[in-house]
Amino acid sequence: MIGHITYMSDKSMEEKFSRNLKKDEYSFSIASEASDFEVEGYLQYKGDSFVKRFDANSYLYITKAMDYFDVSGVKFVKTAKKRDIKFLVISFASDWLYPSYQSEEIVKQLKLKGYDTTYIEIKSTYGHDAFLLEFDDETKLIKHFLERNLKEASNA
């Protein structure tokens, strides 16, 4: 439930739930079944369904992978000798989990190493969930990137 809060932006949480109550008055109870606000029921549902679909150990591996991800060193991405690898980095303006400034740093490190890198920030109010919801924009951007690079490769 706590993790899910970081997936949505402030704006999307406000638009979806604000401080809307489930009933007309407060229960003044801390029991889990006595949720006063609409957001509590939503988070309880999301938390329950998430636990059923994902093994908690997978998050240990994801965390370790994120710890090892470092384009500034030489272990992950070496300095380019050939210029035939191209990168597309997409970020979402309202993503708290992976903020745009981190994507911009990745782009900077790739460019310093000589890689052709394209960066696009999608303006979205959906927070981290934007990658699930802005798929039309993502699809167009990725399709254009791949078509452009395929055309360049076939002309070479």
DSSP-assigned letters across all residues of 16-38: HTTT-BSSSS-----STT---BH
Residue ranges covered by each domain of the chain: 2-57, 71-155
The span from the CA of 7 to the CA of 38, in Å, is 17
* Residue scoring higher pLDDT (45 or 124): 124
9 within 8 A of 98, measured Cβ to Cβ: no
Q: Which sign does the torsion angle of CA 110, 112, 113, 116 carry?
A: positive
pLDDT confidence band for 30 (50 / 70 / 90): confident
Contacts of 97 by beta carbon, 8 Å cutoff, 6+ apart: 6, 7, 127, 128
pLDDT confidence band for 49 (50 / 70 / 90): confident
pLDDT value for 32: 66
Contacts of 104 by beta carbon, 8 Å cutoff, 6+ apart: 91, 119
Q: Is the pLDDT of residue 102 over 90?
A: yes
Phi-psi region at 28: left, alpha or beta (left = phi > 0; alpha = psi -120 to 50): left
Contacts of 112 by beta carbon, 8 Å cutoff, 6+ apart: none
Q: Is the pLDDT of residue 29 over 90?
A: no
Mean pLDDT of 1-18: 79
pLDDT value for 11: 83
DSSP code, position 80:
P
